[in-house]
């Protein structure tokens, strides 16, 4: 079991450019979560998919951020027109969509917007 | 508002000592409390968890003490080792709920 895979591990973009982050959940896990982690804000929930369907995107900035899960083996987080304040570690987690929802995190993608 | 609070923000202990990390919460509906351990450059990893029907959970050198009435819990790391140096997050969620609320973390340093 490879665990949750996130690519790339590091991404540097210029202000105004687009960034797409990829996540491959653990095989068999039907729930996928995206979080953003910064020193100041800590771990912030962004969005949640269950069986590929978007369930809760209450943590997503309404503009510029979008997430998709086109199939059970990957999810993407897209940030359009990146801004310096988007710089953070973006974490993906997966879980079985039942019971305690124990979440297993990937290593994260560190996004730096210059 | 912060629904899960952790203290202290940082903690230094000597190798072999017991480290005690504290956590409190506000929402009475929370009934599942996982603790995550995070090393630099890695994602958080589930360390140990407790349900509100229990008041203690042990796993190796890690023990959670839970006080439902006071809405607080603590993680005790017995015989701390330098390899335990990491950031520890207390988290909480409700029955059947998917949303996990994380505390701000405690950075633990174990000095040899």
Residue-wise pLDDT for B58-93, tens only, equals 999 999 999 999 999 999 999 999 999 999 999 998
Partner residue facing A105 (CB), from B44, B93, B105: B44
Chain A positions touching B105 (Cβ under 8 A) are 42
Cα(B21)–Cα(B33) distance, rounded to whole angstroms?
14
pLDDT at A98: 66
| E strand segments, B3-112 | 4-7, 10-14, 19-25, 30-38, 45-51, 56-59, 62-67, 72-77, 86-94, 101-102, 106-111
Tell me the nearest-neighbour CA distance from B58 into chain A, angstroms: 17
B93 touching chain A per CB within 8 A: yes
Which whole-number Å values give the CA distances from A108 to A90, B55, B98, B99, in the listed order? 5, 33, 20, 19
Which whole-number Å values give the CA distances from B64 to A40, A45, A55, B60, B76, in the listed order? 27, 25, 32, 11, 6
Of the pLDDT bands very low, low, confident and very high (cuts 50, 70, 90), residue B96 is low
Cα(A2)–Cα(A20) distance, rounded to whole angstroms?
22
Chain A positions touching B41 (Cβ under 8 A) are 107
Tell me the nearest-neighbour CA distance from A63 into chain B, angstroms: 22
Q: In chain B, what is the straight-line distance between the N-terminal and C-terminal CA atoms, in Å? A: 37
Cα(B53)–Cα(B28) distance, rounded to whole angstroms?
13
3-state secondary structure of A103: coil
Q: What is the pLDDT of residues A34-93, one digit of tens each?
A: 999 999 889 999 999 999 999 999 999 988 999 999 999 999 999 999 999 999 999 999
Q: CB-hemisphere CA count at 13 Å for A2?
A: 8
A103 touching chain B per CB within 8 A: yes
pLDDT at B1: 55
Chain-chain contact of A43 with B99 (C-beta, under 8 angstroms) = no
Chain-chain contact of B89 with A43 (C-beta, under 8 angstroms) = yes
Chain-chain contact of B46 with A104 (C-beta, under 8 angstroms) = yes
Of the pLDDT bands very low, low, confident and very high (cuts 50, 70, 90), residue A102 is confident
Cα(B82)–Cα(A71) distance, rounded to whole angstroms?
41
B10 touching chain A per CB within 8 A: no
pLDDT at B99: 82
Partner residue facing B43 (CB), from A31, A45, A91: A91
Scan for tokens 């969005």, then name that residue. Answer: A47
Chain-chain contact of A45 with B105 (C-beta, under 8 angstroms) = no
Cα(B53)–Cα(B31) distance, rounded to whole angstroms?
8
Cα(B83)–Cα(B95) distance, rounded to whole angstroms?
33
Quick one: closest CA in B to A10, which residue?
Answer: B41
């Amino acid at each position: 079991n490879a665990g949750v895979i996130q690519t790339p591990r590091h991404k540097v973009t210029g202000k105004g450019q687009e960034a797409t982050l990829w996540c491959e959940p653990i095989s068999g896990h039907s729930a996928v979560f995206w979080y953003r982690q910064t020193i100041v804000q800590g771990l912030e929930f962004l969005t949640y998919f269950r069986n590929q369907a978007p369930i809760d995107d209450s943590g997503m900035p309404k503009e510029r951020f979008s997430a998709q899960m086109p199939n059970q083996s990957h999810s993407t987080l897209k940030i359009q027109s990146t801004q310096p304040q988007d710089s953070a570690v973006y974490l993906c987690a997966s879980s079985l969509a039942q019971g305690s929802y124990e979440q297993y995190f990937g290593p994260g993608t560190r996004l730096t917007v210059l | 508002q912060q629904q899960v609070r952790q203290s202290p923000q940082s903690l230094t202990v000597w190798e072999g000592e017991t480290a005690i990390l504290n956590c409190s919460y506000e929402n009475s509906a929370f009934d599942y409390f996982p603790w995550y351990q995070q090393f630099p450059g890695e994602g958080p990893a589930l360390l140990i968890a407790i349900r509100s029907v229990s008041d203690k959970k042990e796993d190796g050198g890690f023990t959670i003490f839970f006080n439902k009435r006071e809405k607080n819990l603590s993680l005790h790391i017995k015989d701390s080792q330098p390899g335990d140096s990491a950031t520890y997050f207390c988290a909480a969620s409700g029955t059947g709920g998917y949303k996990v609320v994380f505390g701000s973390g405690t950075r633990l340093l174990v000095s040899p």
